[in-house]
Amino acid sequence: MAVYRLEGLGNPNLTKLTSLSRIDPRAELGFHVEIGPFCTIGPDVRIGQGTRLISHVCIMGDVTLGEFNTIGPFVTLGDAPQDLSYKGTPTRVEIGDYNVLRQCVTVHRGSEKEDGTTRIGSRNVLMAGAHVAHDCQLGDRITIAERTVLGGHVHVESDVEIANGVAVVHEVTVGGFSFVGSQSKVTQDVPRYMRIDGYPSRVRSLNTLGLRRNDFFCEETIQTLREAHRLLYRAKKGLQQTVEILRARGQLSAEVLHLIAFVEAQQAGKNGRARDRGANFRKARVAVPCEATPDPH
């Protein structure tokens, strides 16, 4: 990411700034960055080329904002974590490219409990009022709707849709290609490929619509995942028995094995969360070949 300090910028046409904003001269801006009125940019901020801050955006602390992002009014990036154990150690926020953060989104920097970084990948859409707490790790191509709150240390894998008004508690992992319904209370990990809903939430079905929107998943793959869902969540067969049944039918695809591995890790954790700090991790009892769990992207 090519960035340039405001001090001594030779070509004023590289960026579009307004005198109504307060930009620390030590901040680093790429080519063609646009900063609208009433924005505040701190000294440890780096903004990649083509990124647009519409108005009233506050970026503080150590924040790296990638290229061609659109940041809406009243967005706050890099504020201190809302963690009572935080002692002021320097931590950071890292955001990728081509993201859209709509009005009043908040993203807090990391705490001292992990590597101190809150991360958001690329090509994500965070709608009005969404909150990303300290130490969250978000992948790519995620949609988070209005007023949804992610607690600290939440991981959201790529290609996830989370509807409006959802509350996701600390340490939850939201598996890739899943869908979380509106107003849900998410206290346990969301299995990959599944649709969950409710207060508290539970698995309702396979996220068939989301899978069909993705060209990676053929109809045969969707049907094998549908059968895995039926065995696990309807027939209550358990992991080992589900694997044996699907292997006998020739339906033990890479996607099914990835789902089985995800659920096994979830069950090994505490309170249905694989990464819960109180988790008593144990060796997986279901044999899942490592090469059978690729990321389609």
Candidate CATH numbers 3.30.70.3270, 3.40.50.2020, 2.160.10.10, 3.30.300.130; the one for domain 4-153: 2.160.10.10
Determine the residue type at 13: N
Q: Which of 56, 108, 131, 134 is catalytic?
A: 134
Average pLDDT over residues 244-272: 93
Listed by start position, the domains of the chain span 4-153, 213-292
Which range has the worst mean pLDDT, 93-97, 190-194, 208-212?
208-212
What's the chain's length in residues? Answer: 297
Q: Which of 62, 135, 140, 189 is catalytic?
A: 135
Residues whose CB is less than 8 angstroms from the CB of residue 18 and which lie 6 or more positions away in sequence, other chains included: 35, 36, 37
What is residue 94's predicted lDDT score, i.e. its pLDDT? 98
Determine the residue type at 61: G
What is residue 292's predicted lDDT score, i.e. its pLDDT? 38
Known catalytic membership, residue 134: yes
Q: Supply φ then ψ for residue 261, to 5 degrees.
A: -65, -40
What is residue 15's predicted lDDT score, i.e. its pLDDT? 75
41 vs 284, more confident = 41
Segment 76-119, tens digit of pLDDT? 999 999 999 999 999 999 999 999 999 999 999 999 888 999 99
What is residue 215's predicted lDDT score, i.e. its pLDDT? 80
Per-residue pLDDT at 278 exceeds 90: no
Average pLDDT over residues 158-167: 98
Known catalytic membership, residue 229: no
Q: Which of 48, 110, 121, 152 is catalytic?
A: 152
Question: How much is the pTM?
Answer: 0.89
- Work out the percent of the chain whose per-residue pLDDT is above 70: 88
Per-residue pLDDT at 16 exceeds 70: yes
SS3 of 31, please?
coil
Known catalytic membership, residue 152: yes
**Which pLDDT band, with edges at 50, 70 and 90, does 3 fall under?**
very low
Count of alpha carbons within 13 angstroms of residue 4, beta-carbon side:
15
